[in-house]
Chains A and B, each alone.
Chain A
């Protein structure tokens, strides 16, 4: 089945650091990638949708200058949390979808736990 790899799985860093999270589709071309945030014991909250080669579309309330998303190739999207602060600590999950396989659901990465000290 389709595999999405997310790296790193866990990051601990100091306040003010910028952190980059990678999301790769390993065996299919991801025309669209999604970034979600999940707070403890809560559901997933969509942050942004990125289409390959285009600017990401951010959900209301998500700061685009804070959460930089790049989707430069059909297999890689990155989320950079700039100047991270403790309130940015969360579980970030990416997913990928291919318009070539429209009827196939999104496939999710294993998530990145971000802890800002």
Chain B
């Protein structure tokens, strides 16, 4: 089946930038998403990008998409301790059938 892969752990110091990477295999993916999950909570949509876009920026968040390499990244500028969470990459063709990565646990050290 089609896969979404991301590294499991990332540790950064407060104030640094965090970059979380994701690769996917389905070339028909139209929507690519980043969700944040804090302990015991549901998924919070951070941002999403259409496959015909290369980049999307929203305040401290920058999403880069390399469609040729099927590579998606999320950069968090000026990372804060409150950014510590699990970040899920996901993709979909139609906003219905979604495939999630395993999640990257971001730890921000003071």
Contact = CB atoms under 8 A, between A and B. Distances in A.
Interface residues of B, number: 20
A108 B95 contact: no
A42 B37 CA distance: 12
Nearest to A111: B42
Interface string A46-59: 10010000000000
A42 B92 CA distance: 19
Interface string B44-64: 110010000000000000000
Interface string A39-79: 00011101001000000000000000000000000000000
Interface stretch (A13-21, A80-88, A98-106): A98-106
A108 B35 contact: yes
Interface stretch (B11-19, B76-84, B96-104): B96-104
B88 interface: yes
Contacts of B95: 97, 102-106
Contact of A43 (B40, B42, B48, B100): B100
Size category of the A interface is 20 to 34
A111 B41 contact: yes
B98 to A, nearest CB: 7
Contacts of B10: none
B24 interface: no
17 contacts: A42-B103, A43-B88, A43-B100, A43-B101, A44-B43, A44-B100, A93-B43, A95-B43, A105-B31, A105-B48, A106-B96, A108-B35, A109-B42, A110-B42, A111-B40, A111-B41, A113-B40
Given A103-B31, A105-B92, 15 more contacts: A93-B42, A97-B95, A97-B96, A102-B95, A105-B33, A105-B95, A106-B95, A106-B96, A108-B35, A108-B42, A108-B43, A108-B44, A111-B41, A111-B42, A113-B40
- Shortest Cβ-Cβ A-B pairs, 5 listed: A110-B42, A108-B43, A111-B42, A108-B42, A43-B100
